[in-house]
Amino acid sequence: MALIKFEGKPIEKLIETVSQGIGILYEPTRIKKLANADAYRYEKMEEAKAKGLILMADTENELLIRAKQRLTLQEIDRQINIDNIVQKSVDALEDSVSETPVDPDWRSKFFNKAQDISSDELQEVWAKILANEITSPGNVSLRSLEVLSSLSKAEALIFSKVAKLSFSYGSIYKLYSSQDIKEFNLTFNDILELSACGLMYDNTSLNITYNIEDSQRGVALFFGNTIVFCNKENAQTITFDQFKLTPMGAELANALKIEKDYNYLDAFISKCKEDGYIITK
């Protein structure tokens, strides 16, 4: 194991938040490979034995000792999970962070849930959420954390696929009047699965209407780092059929900063032009 080099305000705030969240001064370590993680687990088990936390079982106290050993091993694994998530969050931190501290209730819930996340893919997700909260507190609600904690790896992969297609505020504009966007691998079953998780509405007949003001270039639609202005001659409003992330889904999509699929944006712009819209970037 190698120590993480922690320097600068973002890192200092991360260490402070982790220390407050787990109740002890956090000493960050970097576990680079599974083999090293197993070595770390073995090292901690030996330390626990030396301190009397794990004892050799005997017939008289076997049940009590086994229970104590199970709890000790569980806490070792939880610490490894936290270490891995913190390590991954370092790479996701912004260069500057808000002076606003992380809310204590949020911090407590985050580490209470994160300690049991062992999947490498899901740890990446939780690391990005932690880094986002360190950078700009308040973007992910306690309710969204609760939903996130119940996601399976498969559900997280589906959500990532959907988030690549979402505009700001969680809108995914339809290309055609169908219940999916198969050209970009969004199926009706995906929508139903994310609906069951509380991340997406299962109503596939939703639409959204924007008012157009004469003084503007049209409606500003935000897709990742791109702003698209949409207008239509002699129109007072513009209406798009859409699929929709829930507020919790939109929160998580924005916080995770999932890279957008700009081929979908190009397809959406082409469809708008076919329908008589004026599109500028």
DSSP string, 216-278: SSSEEEEETTEEEEEE-TT-SEEEEEEEEB-HHHHHHHHHHTPPP-HHHHHHHHHHHHHTT-E
216-232 pLDDT tens trace: 678 999 999 999 999 98
pTM: 0.79
Residue bearing the bigger pLDDT, 126 or 90: 126
Residue bearing the bigger pLDDT, 76 or 82: 82
CA torsion through residues 123, 128, 131, 132, sign: negative
Instruction: Phi first, then psi: give them for residue 23, nearest 5 degrees.
Output: 85, 0
Residue written as token pair 């008289």: 60
For residues 65-71, give the mean pLDDT.
77
CB 81, CB 32: distance < 8 Å: no
pLDDT exceeds cutoff 70 at 75: yes
pLDDT band at 268, cuts 50/70/90?
very high
Q: What is the pLDDT of residue 109?
A: 95
